A and B are shown apart, each in its own frame.
Chain A
């Protein structure tokens, strides 16, 4: 055990995802030896992120104000909504530059094992949005896991009664630019099973 504040810092750092006790110790000693201004800048960033950043009231993406940048952008097509599990998935889809609609962040996927029921996700808000605005297409961009699939199935069921809304789910398959021989057999098997005519 180290002197009080040092140990406190190590314990706090060790609570971060992906940081074990050894890494926490390394980071703590790095901060101890760093310039005071650098450390204060980090401390300030931590405070700012909690004070200034919240979640978009419409799509639940991270936002610095009431609405996120994407929801504020008038050039985005409000008739198409892409549903993702986490805010970081928004960034992933944005990087494709293929999608010009709006997002809806669920905040996770259904998982009774982790106590995640439909009420814990922003599902009702999505249904309200689709009903209120003239949304014509909902793209379910959830992870290709059992939990993601269940979430998509749940949403598909809830969205089915709404007229004039097409609901689709993204395909899963091989990474582009990768050699077939390096694909794992499960991904390749799934890609084969989901083949389409050319």
Chain B
């Protein structure tokens, strides 16, 4: 799928910007604070219903405006064109969605567009704590299997219920443990097993794409392993995480073994809410033993893998949004990245690189030429200055 036209009205610092988009990749360039990322944010908002930069609706709307509007004409597989739109307003005005000019109550009803974004902040996927990687995995999971959102929310509910119960037991020290604890423990094992299995399955689909991307970008081996933070006592770690029954019984045994601990601490210590993905780069642990540049490559590879898996699932390549992706890659890796960009997915990237007299950042021109990217339509350069769009083809 491709975005062929994008309109931003009173959105971030764009008063009124309209971008017509051709066949090739789009390079959005301009100085800091010009409104480049706002272009990506608008597309991602239409695709996911959320901003990747903020949860505060107020900052999306231009200062002085009551309501901001973003609108995209999307060409989906088969050549059909659809117009999706969103109006964002101050908190109480809420968000409104439009499909071909008709208002729709929920984002779900207008979710035609799909996109994957890589932003500088994504370094946290490699560098941050386990929750960053769990959230990434859950995000991928929901995007390829909508049913998973129920699995995730069920597990969160069970966990909350059990933790409240454990806290109340801790408060009433010395009394008998209520029989309901066994039930909630069983529920953690049941719902937890569903979640572990879904996560490990989706990670197995992501893994080859991550390895491939890291090999292309950095010429190194990469590994991605789902790492449960729990294990049944005595036994070696659970090896087959794709079998619901065995994961459930392993979880149940592990929960049983730490029951005393959990009662003492008043919280659930065993379950997928503490799991992690172990990321390896050239045989080293990414989080502790990789350079920042290497961490960035791995984070980027995780996003590219999401794109590949989404494409497999939907048979229509999502839009790839790369925000300031060049800033921390050396020239060689920049070239390799442009080389590796999916040919069938529309790519829109931003850069602060300074432009030559024709308005094209030299390394981008060089890289684009070298990679032969752009197909018949050629790459398109969009210059953004002070929330205004000045377009030009490369």
- A112 & B168 in contact (Cβ 8 Å cutoff): yes
Q: What is the distance, in angstroms, from B187's C-beta to the closest C-beta of chain A?
A: 5
Closest residue of chain A to B168 (Cβ to Cβ) is A112
B313: chain A residues at CB < 8 Å are none
- Asked if A131 CB lies within 8 Å of chain B CBs, one says no
Q: Digitize A176-194: 1 where CB-to-B-CB distance is under 8 Å, 0 elsewhere.
A: 0000000001100110010
A154: chain B residues at CB < 8 Å are 179-180, 183
- B187 & A117 in contact (Cβ 8 Å cutoff): no
How many angstroms from the CA of A193 to the CA of B194 in the assembled complex?
12
Q: Given A113-B160, A189-B147, answer yes or no on A118-B154 (Cβ-Cβ < 8 Å).
A: no
- B183 & A157 in contact (Cβ 8 Å cutoff): yes
How many angstroms from the CA of A113 to the CA of B150 in the assembled complex?
19
- A146 & B162 in contact (Cβ 8 Å cutoff): no
A89: chain B residues at CB < 8 Å are none
- Asked if B157 CB lies within 8 Å of chain A CBs, one says yes
B113-168 with Cβ < 8 A to chain A: 145-147, 149-150, 154, 157-158, 160-162, 164-165, 168
Q: Digitize B84-99: 1 where CB-to-A-CB distance is under 8 Å, 0 elsewhere.
A: 0000000000000000
B178: chain A residues at CB < 8 Å are 117-118
Q: Given A110-B183, A112-B180, answer yes or no on A150-B149 (Cβ-Cβ < 8 Å).
A: no
Number of interface residues of B (CB under 8 A): 24
Q: Given A146-B191, A190-B147, answer yes or no on A112-B179 (Cβ-Cβ < 8 Å).
A: no
How many angstroms from the CA of A147 to the CA of B161 in the assembled complex?
9
- A153 & B187 in contact (Cβ 8 Å cutoff): yes
- A113 & B164 in contact (Cβ 8 Å cutoff): yes
Q: Which of A117, A146, A147 has the most CB of B within 10 A?
A: A146
How many angstroms from the CA of A14 to the CA of B294 in the assembled complex?
60
- Asked if A149 CB lies within 8 Å of chain B CBs, one says yes
Instruction: Pick the residue among B149, B157, B168, B186 that contacts A146 (CB under 8 A).
Output: B157
- B180 & A189 in contact (Cβ 8 Å cutoff): no
Number of interface residues of A (CB under 8 A): 18
B184: chain A residues at CB < 8 Å are 112, 150
A111: chain B residues at CB < 8 Å are 161
Q: Given A117-B180, A118-B178, answer yes or no on A112-B165 (Cβ-Cβ < 8 Å).
A: yes
- Asked if B182 CB lies within 8 Å of chain A CBs, one says yes
A193: chain B residues at CB < 8 Å are 147
Closest residue of chain B to A146 (Cβ to Cβ) is B157
Closest residue of chain B to A154 (Cβ to Cβ) is B183
B149: chain A residues at CB < 8 Å are 186
Q: What is the distance, in angstroms, from A120's C-beta to the closest C-beta of chain B?
A: 10
A117: chain B residues at CB < 8 Å are 178, 180
A118: chain B residues at CB < 8 Å are 178-180
How many angstroms from the CA of A117 to the CA of B175 in the assembled complex?
15
How many angstroms from the CA of A138 to the CA of B187 in the assembled complex?
21
- A153 & B150 in contact (Cβ 8 Å cutoff): no
Instruction: Pick the residue among A113, A146, A189 that contacts B187 (CB under 8 A).
Output: A146
- A157 & B147 in contact (Cβ 8 Å cutoff): no
B186: chain A residues at CB < 8 Å are 153, 157
How many angstroms from the CA of A189 to the CA of B157 in the assembled complex?
20
B187: chain A residues at CB < 8 Å are 146, 149-150, 153
How many angstroms from the CA of A46 to the CA of B157 in the assembled complex?
37
Closest residue of chain A to B161 (Cβ to Cβ) is A112
Q: Digitize A6-22: 1 where CB-to-B-CB distance is under 8 Å, 0 elsewhere.
A: 00000000000000000
A150: chain B residues at CB < 8 Å are 158, 161, 183-184, 187
- B161 & A113 in contact (Cβ 8 Å cutoff): yes
- B146 & A185 in contact (Cβ 8 Å cutoff): yes
- B150 & A189 in contact (Cβ 8 Å cutoff): yes
How many angstroms from the CA of A131 to the CA of B129 in the assembled complex?
52
Q: What is the distance, in angstroms, from B145's C-beta to the closest C-beta of chain A?
A: 8
Q: Digitize B186-227: 1 where CB-to-A-CB distance is under 8 Å, 0 elsewhere.
A: 110011000000000000000000000000000000000000
Closest residue of chain B to A188 (Cβ to Cβ) is B147
How many angstroms from the CA of A183 to the CA of B160 in the assembled complex?
29
How many angstroms from the CA of A190 to the CA of B194 in the assembled complex?
12
Closest residue of chain B to A111 (Cβ to Cβ) is B161
How many angstroms from the CA of A112 to the CA of B182 in the assembled complex?
13
Q: What is the distance, in angstroms, from A183's C-beta to the closest C-beta of chain B?
A: 12
Q: Digitize A143-160: 1 where CB-to-B-CB distance is under 8 Å, 0 elsewhere.
A: 000110110011001000
Closest residue of chain A to B166 (Cβ to Cβ) is A112
What are 19 sample pairs from A and B whose C-beta atoms fall under 8 A apart?
A110-B183, A111-B161, A112-B165, A112-B180, A112-B184, A113-B161, A146-B161, A149-B187, A150-B161, A150-B184, A153-B186, A154-B183, A157-B186, A185-B146, A186-B150, A189-B145, A189-B146, A190-B150, A193-B147
List the 6 closest pairs (A to B, CB-CB), nearest first. A189-B147, A185-B146, A112-B165, A112-B164, A154-B183, A146-B157
